[in-house]
Amino acid sequence: MNVQRTLQTVDRVSRWSGKLFAWLIVALMLVVCVEVFKRYILNAPTAWIFDINNMLYGTLFMMCGAYTLAQGGHVRGDFIYGRMQPRTQAAFDLALYFLFFIPGILALVYAGYFYAGDSWRINEHSTVTADGPPLYYFKAAIPIAGALLMFQGLAEIVRCIVCLRTGAWPERLRDVEEIDVVGEQLAQSEFVDQESRQLAIEQAQQIEEAAHQRAGGARP
């Protein structure tokens, strides 16, 4: 139980950080809409808007990595993996974490720390224009995202060890899923009878559960 609580605490940190930085997509949308209006209506394009777009999207992409890992959402080739037993999946994952994940993320954090430090030290700005936006805020996200990803990765390693010992994946924190949206839409539909609605929800749940099993880790 202590291990399970620890794993879910790490999941909460990753979920909190992912949902917080997910709001950057709203900022990115607003920036793009404003720039389209300025460029095509006012004929006054912004020279450094491309840099801003890259920084917003790049920060979103990096800072949501730990959340995606916590949800088992990273792309994997599961044609063979999905047919393995949980213990075999755990052994396979554990080997890959030690061979590739840990060295790669450690390198990211180490290099990103000095990369961001140099940028802060020289007060780095975009060189597209004389008054380009600062780049050091964006580069500071590299080691932070790497540290969050490493934190979640260590929790995934513990999950693998638990699965090797028990033969079952520990539960993950449940987040909003597509099946929740399906259920809400069907519940509000006036054109689907109760039997068809229940059958559709059960089929969607079976598909979702199969996907979660392939992702490694059941949902409560």
Task: Answer yes or no: do 158 and 193 share one domain.
Answer: no
Which ranges in the chain belong to alpha helices (H)?
A: 2-22, 24-40, 49-63, 65-70, 78-81, 86-96, 102-121, 136-166, 178-187, 194-215
Q: How many domains does the chain have?
A: 2
The yes-or-no verdict on residue 127 having pLDDT over 90 is: no
**Same domain flag for 108 and 148:** yes
Same domain for 138 and 197, yes or no, is: no
pLDDT tens digits, one per residue of 43-79 = 988 888 888 999 999 999 999 999 999 988 777 766 7
Q: Which residues pair with 134 in a beta bridge?
A: 125
User: Which is nearest to 64 in space by CA: 102, 5, 7, 18?
Assistant: 18
* The domain boundary residue, chosen from 173, 195, 211: 173
Q: For the whole model, what pTM was predicted?
A: 0.78
The verdict on 97 and 115 lying in the same domain is yes
Q: What is the mean pLDDT of residues 10-32?
A: 93
Residue 24 sits in the same domain as residue 116: yes
Query: Does the pLDDT at position 128 exceed 60?
Result: yes
The answer to whether residues 146 and 112 touch, using CB atoms and an 8 Å cutoff, is: yes
Residue with tokens 């949501």: 64
Residues 183 and 150 in one domain: no
CB 69 within 8 A of CB 149: yes
Q: Are residues 168 and 184 in the same domain?
A: no
Average pLDDT over residues 158-163: 94
Q: Are residues 181 and 135 in the same domain?
A: no
Query: Which domain, by its residues, includes 197?
Result: 176-220
pLDDT tens figures, 74-122: 777 667 777 788 999 999 999 999 999 999 999 999 999 999 999 999 9
Using the predicted structure, report yes or no on whether residue 20 has a pLDDT greater than 90. Answer: yes
Residues 108 and 215 in one domain: no
CA dihedral 137, 142, 148, 153 (to 10 degrees): 170
pLDDT band at 184 (very low <50, low <70, confident <90, very high): low
pLDDT in tens, 187-213: 666 666 666 666 766 666 665 565 555
Confidence at residue 199, expressed as pLDDT on a 0 to 100 scale: 73
Q: Which of 131, 163, 172, 169 is nearest to 48 (CA)?
A: 131
Residues 51 and 145 in one domain: yes
Let me know whether 113 and 187 are in one domain.
Answer: no
Q: With contact defined as beta carbons under 8 Å apart, do 25 and 63 qualify?
A: no
Q: Are 210 and 134 contained in the same domain?
A: no
pLDDT at 126 exceeding the cut of 90: no
